[in-house]
Structure 1
Amino acid sequence: MTEPVEDEVFRNEDWYAEEITARSYTRCSFSEIDLTESITRGAVFTDCSFGNVRFNASKHTDSAFTGCTFKRCNLFDAEFEGCKLVGTTFTECELRPMRVLGGDWSFAGLLGADLRGTSFQGVRMREADLTGANCVDAVFVDVDLSGGQLRGSKFARSDLRGSDLTAFDPFNVELAGAIIGAEQAAMIAMALGLEVR
């Protein structure tokens, strides 16, 4: 890990295809930065803010963005593998078609996010805020969504196999056409007050 960077402001910089490996940033502000096709490996961003940053086609492996805020950022075709985004919030961001494999996104704030066609696999998303999120045609396979805030969210035609759906209220979440397993179906039926025999 290189010498940590703290309380710095980065603005209007071109970091196109930059490789950020084992660097640490704390309470830093990134504004109007081009990180298109950038790569992070083992990088740590703590309590940082990203505004109008382009992450298009970027790839992030074993990196951490904890307690960070993303506002009006573009993550088109971005990939996160084994990353930690605990407590990080996304506001007015372009997140399609983002792909997430593994990692911890617990307490992440995705209020009203457009997640249509995105993919989350094997991700821990405990108590994530997906209130009003549009997850139509998305993949949430083997995802821990326990304790999540899901009121008004749409999961129509999404793949939810293997995921923890205990926080799903069928009366407040749109699930038409969603793909689930037999055990999940029994749980949803019980939530509807049905008796499964």
Structure 2
Amino acid sequence: MFTPQKRLISLAGLIAAMFANTALAQSQPVAWSPSYGGSCADCDLSGKNLTGWTLNGANYSGARFDYAFMRGVRATAVNLQRANITGADLRGADLTSGRLADAVLNNARMQNVLASGADFSRARMEGANLERAKLIGVNFQGATLLFSRLDTADLSGANCTDAVMDRATLRGAVFNGANLTAVSFTGADLSQASFRDARLPGADLTGVTGAETADFAGACGSLTTRLPANMSLPMCAGAEFDEAD
């Protein structure tokens, strides 16, 4: 007979199993606490539904999250270096101070992401949608954002040195005080964007649209900065020593 006592024992065993220190994902051991922190380097979570997970401070370097559902994920200071996050749904996620150097986020949906202070250096983000994202002080050095969307995103104080933003849609984006040295904006839409006090030595704005509606007050460039016709910028301090192409 299945007595109430046996039911309690069975329920206790189920709860213990749910909160075990080691779980399995994609046939690989994944160490996590109930908040899914811990370490899961190089594990495969592609296509998984991770909506609402808390990954604060966790180590998922080299992991696969391609086409995963990660809406609203709380992942401050997470380590996602070299992770494959292609096509993932990260809308509304909190990646503040996250480490995403060399990660692949092509075609990722990142609208309304909070990622201030995050490191996306050398990340591949072609076609990523970062509309309305909060990216204050973010590191996009060497990142590829070809065909990305950053409409009304806030990149104030960002380091975008050597980033590629060709054909990107930057309508209403804020780059105030950003370091845009050698950034390629070829063919990008700058309509209503703000570049106040930004540094653009060596930047390429060839073929951009909407520059006449963008705000470049206090911005500066160099001899190697390529600007649209009828547009000029004052020389940045020290930029007079830049070598010509």
- Determine if the TM-score, normalized by the shorter chain, exceeds 0.5: yes
Over 6 Å off, 4+ runs:
189-192
Gaps of 5+ in 2: 1-33, 217-227, 231-245
Counterpart contact for 2:194–2:214, Cα < 8 Å: no
- 1:46 and 1:185, CA in 2 relative to 1: closer, same or farther beyond 3 A? closer
Q: Distance in 2 between matches of 1:94 and 1:186?
A: 29
- 1:136 and 1:41, CA in 2 relative to 1: closer, same or farther beyond 3 A? closer
2:168 counterpart SS class: coil
Matched, 1:184 2:208: yes
Counterpart contact for 2:117–2:136, Cα < 8 Å: no
Counterpart contact for 1:170–1:188, Cα < 8 Å: no
Q: What is aligned with 1:92?
A: 117
Q: What is aligned with 2:36?
A: 10
With structure 2 as the length reference, what TM-score do the two structures score? 0.68
Question: How far does the alpha carbon of each residue in 1:120-153 deviate from its partner, in whole angstroms, 9 at most, with x for none?
Answer: 1111111111111121221111110101122212
Pairwise CA RMSD: 2.5
1:120 counterpart SS class: coil
Q: What is aligned with 1:27?
A: 52
Q: What is aligned with 1:119?
A: 144
Q: Please point out which of 105, 118, 130 is paired with 1:105.
A: 130
**Counting strand residues as a fraction of each chain, which structure ranks higher?**
1
- 1:61 and 1:172, CA in 2 relative to 1: closer, same or farther beyond 3 A? same
Matched positions, count: 186
- 1:112 and 1:170, CA in 2 relative to 1: closer, same or farther beyond 3 A? closer
More RCO (CA 8 Å, sep 6+): 1
How is 1:1-197 mapped onto 2 (pairs within 5 angstroms)? 9-12=35-38, 14-169=39-194, 171-181=196-206, 183-184=207-208, 187=211, 196=230
Q: Distance in 1 between matches of 2:165 and 2:119?
A: 18
- 1:156 and 1:32, CA in 2 relative to 1: closer, same or farther beyond 3 A? closer
Gaps of 5+ in 1: 1-7
